[in-house]
């Protein structure tokens, strides 16, 4: 891996077509860095993304760029890790969110009522479920 930041950025730009720039909070990413890299490894694969320094406004270390092979993965990253309440970005970079996103709530189990005959009834055969319920003690 190249040691020069410009070489790292050039390599990432050649390898990955999608870039997301993120403004770093004044106190840095802290423990979020480990969480973000774990998420990236899990969702993109360990070789499916790259992170590089990304200067804005001439200030060193005030932003990072994360490169993705796929725009869908970049979109999922922004939805998970960035403040998306505002449509626009601040100065061309996304802001890292301070809170956790709301957990996904799945649809409850449900059963669609069936009003038509079963295949067994169409063939004139007895339905084992109906026979079991008819012989079960009440």
The CATH number of the domain holding residue 13 is: 3.30.70
* Contact (Cβ atoms closer than 8 angstroms) between residue 78 and residue 20: yes
Per-residue pLDDT, averaged over 38-61, amounts to: 82
- Would 74 be classed as within a structural domain? yes
Q: Report the number of distinct structural domains present in the chain.
A: 1
**Which residues lie across from 46 on neighbouring strands?**
none
pTM to 2 decimals? 0.61
Averaged pLDDT score across all residues of the chain: 77
* Higher pLDDT, residue 59 or 135: 135
- Whether the per-residue pLDDT at 1 is higher than 50: the answer is no
Q: What is the pLDDT of residues 76-111, one digit of tens each?
A: 998 888 876 554 455 666 777 666 766 767 667 666
Structure tokens at 18: 């999608």
Domain that holds residue 82: 5-95
- Would 100 be classed as within a structural domain? no
């Amino acid at each position: 891996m190249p040691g020069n930041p410009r070489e790292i950025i050039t390599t990432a730009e050649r390898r990955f077509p999608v870039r997301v720039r993120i403004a770093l909070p004044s106190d840095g990413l802290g423990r979020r860095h480990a969480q973000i890299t774990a998420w990236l490894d899990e969702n993109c694969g360990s070789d499916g993304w790259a992170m590089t320094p990304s200067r804005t406004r001439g200030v060193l270390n005030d932003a990072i760029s994360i490169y993705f092979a796929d725009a869908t993965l970049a979109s999922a990253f922004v939805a998970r890790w960035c403040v998306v309440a505002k449509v626009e970005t601040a100065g061309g970079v996304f802001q890292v969110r301070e809170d956790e996103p709301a957990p996904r709530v799945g649809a409850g189990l449900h059963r669609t009522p069936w009003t038509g005959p079963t295949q067994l009834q169409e063939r004139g055969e007895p339905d084992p479920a109906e026979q079991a319920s008819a012989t079960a003690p009440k």
